[in-house]
Structure 1
Amino acid sequence: MSEPVRLSKRVAALLPCSRKEAEQYIEGGWVRVNGQVVEEPHFRVLDEKVELDPEARLMELPPVTLLLHKPAGQAAPLQLLSAATHWQDDPSGIRVLKRHFSQLTPLVPLEPAASGMLVYSQDWRVARKLTEDERLIEVEVTVEVQGEVSAAQLALLMRDTDTRGQPLPMVKASLNSSAEGRSKLRFAIKGVHPGLIAYVCERAGLQILAMKRIRIGRVPMTQLPPGQWRYLQANERF
């Protein structure tokens, strides 16, 4: 062989199989070039050693959804999505592939200063669910505030209109704990939007120290460490 060829062409000739099947093997992470996994069908090879993993399976690769624990103040959380930041205890069992980091749609925005769960998806069904049913999906957020929270302040947090009498999303707020001059509140809100929690806390005279989103719909963040991500499992639904 005197001229480099596409890896998909070499794999198709080695197996043999169709070019489309060769691309599926390559994008599925089953092909090695000189011992290194290569996932790009267009990768050029000349006289390198090309091998197919003995456990290779020919199958369509479904779209994935990634759940990221965004650290507080992270300006560009999409940069945290890589194989290096994949949670090692991810229970999904999905093999990490390069194609999982392309064509991701960010969903359910979060305040830049807050930490907590973000959703990135390749699946149009997930995107439609989180977009069209945004007002019906409950999110859960924990908020640490300065000082103690009175019963009157707690009631003010849940007032369903703003200062002009305009309706607000329904806010359910409860006091989790209070110690050392700090209180921890738990909010459950349907139809939340960035700035809403900050607004109701300011209205109640409460200074926010930290904010974390821990659940979106029926999907909790659980033990996912800050700065790491996991796959949405097949049995999880927002």
Structure 2
Amino acid sequence: MTEPLRLSKRMSELGLCSRREADEWIAKGWVRVDGQVISELGSKVLPSQTVTIERQAAAQQSKLVTVLINKPMGYVSGQAEDGYQPAVTLVKAENRWSEDGAPLQFHPTQLRSLVPAGRLDIDSIGLLVLTQDGRVAKQLIGETTDVEKEYLVRVQYDRPGRLPDNQLKRLQHGLTMDGKELLPAKVRWQNDDQLSFILREGKKRQIRRMCDMVGLKVLGLKRVRIGNVKLGDLPVGEWRYLGADEVF
């Protein structure tokens, strides 16, 4: 027989919201199981039961924003550390891209619970996603995510000649990190000193460590795409809203 699950966990699994949002909605009486309002935290449900949310929850969720930043070097993705500013400090009215077509008005309340969905090293630049929406965060950094992330990486080979083809193949598949084999990656030359990496995972400093294993030194790293969403012409240090028609 199937074991019952915590309602908040089941709601997250169904992609309705994050667990934190689920607990908030349950406490407010905005969640129904098989048509019955459930307002007790910690309640459990069977996978076969139908979970629905009230319109107040859907309305609250529709106000949640997701922001795309072209992160410059010298900013950290999350919490401030070692005197470095977090990327969220760039999200202010004067840094909004003038060509952002989203009909939203910026308001400081949008900074509440605006957190990075994935990370980008302090010395890397490019597309960083900040979101208030637990569904977006789960899609991009959840355990089962398979959303592609594309990077342009300027490299220098630390041995005579050019990187051998068999080492390029190792970058594509065959490297082990932290005792675990890496998922297959798409790696190809863009030009003489720049590689394109397309990954479906994001271990800490993964690309730099991969390059180090085959004798390549990373001189510059820029993320240009996450899923179907591209960095495009967004200027460095500026941000825009995720468009209503854009999905990762």
- Tell me whether the two structures share a fold, i.e. TM-score over 0.5: yes
RMSD over aligned Cα atoms: 2.1
What's the offset of the Cα at 1:101? 1.9
Aligned mates of 1:125, 1:134 — CA distance in 2 = 13
> Which residue does 1:73 correspond to in 2?
74
Q: Is the 8 A contact 1:135 1:192 kept in 2?
A: no
SS state at 1:207 partner: strand
Aligned match of 2:173 in 159, 164, 180?
Answer: 159
SS state at 1:118 partner: strand
> Which residue does 2:142 correspond to in 1?
132
> Which residue does 2:103 correspond to in 1?
93
Note if 1:186 corresponds to 2:200.
no
Q: 1:103 to 1:176 in 2, by over 3 A?
A: same
Q: Mean alpha-carbon deviation: is it higher for 213-222 or for 159-168?
A: 159-168
Q: 1:101 to 1:113 in 2, by over 3 A?
A: same
Q: Is the 8 A contact 1:143 1:212 kept in 2?
A: yes
What's the offset of the Cα at 1:139? 0.3
Q: Is the 8 A contact 2:69 2:239 kept in 1?
A: yes
Note if 1:172 corresponds to 2:163.
no
> Which residue does 1:47 correspond to in 2?
none
Q: Deviations for 1:38-58, whole angstroms, at most 9, x for unmatched residues?
A: xxxxxxxxxxxxxxxxxxxxx
Q: Is the 8 A contact 2:139 2:145 kept in 1?
A: no
Aligned mates of 1:201, 1:105 — CA distance in 2 = 29
> Which residue does 2:233 correspond to in 1?
223
> Which residue does 2:40 correspond to in 1?
none
Q: 1:134 to 1:73 in 2, by over 3 A?
A: farther
- Structure 2, unaligned runs of 5 or more: 1-58, 76-83
> TM-score under structure 1 normalisation?
0.68
Q: Deviations for 1:82-125, whole angstroms, at most 9, x for unmatched residues?
A: 11111011122322222222221211111111101111111222
SS state at 2:212 partner: helix
> Which residue does 2:65 correspond to in 1?
64
SS state at 2:139 partner: helix
SS state at 2:167 partner: helix
How many percent of aligned residue pairs carry the same amino acid? 32
> TM-score under structure 2 normalisation?
0.65
What's the offset of the Cα at 1:152? 2.9
Aligned mates of 2:123, 2:208 — CA distance in 1 = 11
User: Which structure has the bigger radius of gyration?
Assistant: 1
Query: How many equivalent residue pairs?
Result: 176
Aligned mates of 1:96, 1:85 — CA distance in 2 = 11
- Structure 1, unaligned runs of 5 or more: 1-58
Note if 1:104 corresponds to 2:104.
no
Note if 1:202 corresponds to 2:212.
yes
What's the offset of the Cα at 1:133? 5.7
Note if 1:237 corresponds to 2:247.
yes
What's the offset of the Cα at 1:149? 3.6
